[in-house]
Amino acid sequence: MLVPMWQDDVFNALKSARIRQVGYVPDAGHARLIARSHADPDLVPVVLTTEEEGVALAAGAHLGGDRAVLLMQSSGVGNCINMLSLLQSCRMPLLALVTMRGEWGEFNPWQVPMGSATEAALRLMGVQVRRVDRAEDAAETVTYAAALAFDSAIPVAVLLGQRLIGAKVFVK
């Protein structure tokens, strides 16, 4: 299977940003980053049961002197809304990479409402949002989003558009 190079470039950007912990809820859009995280002895991949645990993981990493990234799908953003207030109140960084659903080529109507509300919901909670729809912009956007999050101690989410990650296909 041919893996798009942008995913490896994003992984390298995370490594350059000194990320040490990778919290994730399993997601096909993040499969390459998850696999690379498990294969890298310098990283601690943590499978989460729900996305808001990733916000707590990132806060704990920060308090312990580490850096974390949260990998999730747009449908999980709604699960994080209450926990995002912790980051605002305590001025803690968060770098989240969010694979979008409910957009280009979506087959599942259940994904559309949260996919449509993801960016606005994050902004309402004080999260800086960046978006990537072209492969050539992915690594650079993640690099600068990580710098913004960790240098300024604020939450930043990078939305990886469905056209970039590819539409999922339902197989009967």
Provide the CATH number for the domain around residue 84: 3.40.50.970
Flag residues of the chain having pLDDT under 70: 1-4, 102-103, 105-109, 111-113, 167-172
In a domain, 91, yes or no: yes
pLDDT of residue 172: 64
- Residue 171 is assigned to a structural domain of this protein: no
Class of residue 95 by CB neighbours under 10 A (exposed 0-12, middle 13-18, buried 19+): buried
Whether residue 172 is contained in a domain is answered as no
Is residue 87 in a domain? Answer: yes
CA angle 10, 155, 120 (to 5 degrees): 95
pLDDT on residue 1: 47
Residue 136 forms part of a structural domain: yes
Nearest residue to 101 (alpha-carbon basis) of 91, 90, 92, 112: 112
- 21-68, pLDDT tens digit by residue? 999 999 888 999 999 999 999 999 999 999 999 999 999 999 999 999
Q: How many domains does the chain have?
A: 1
170: in domain = no
- Residue range(s) defining the domain that contains residue 32: 5-165
In a domain, 108, yes or no: yes
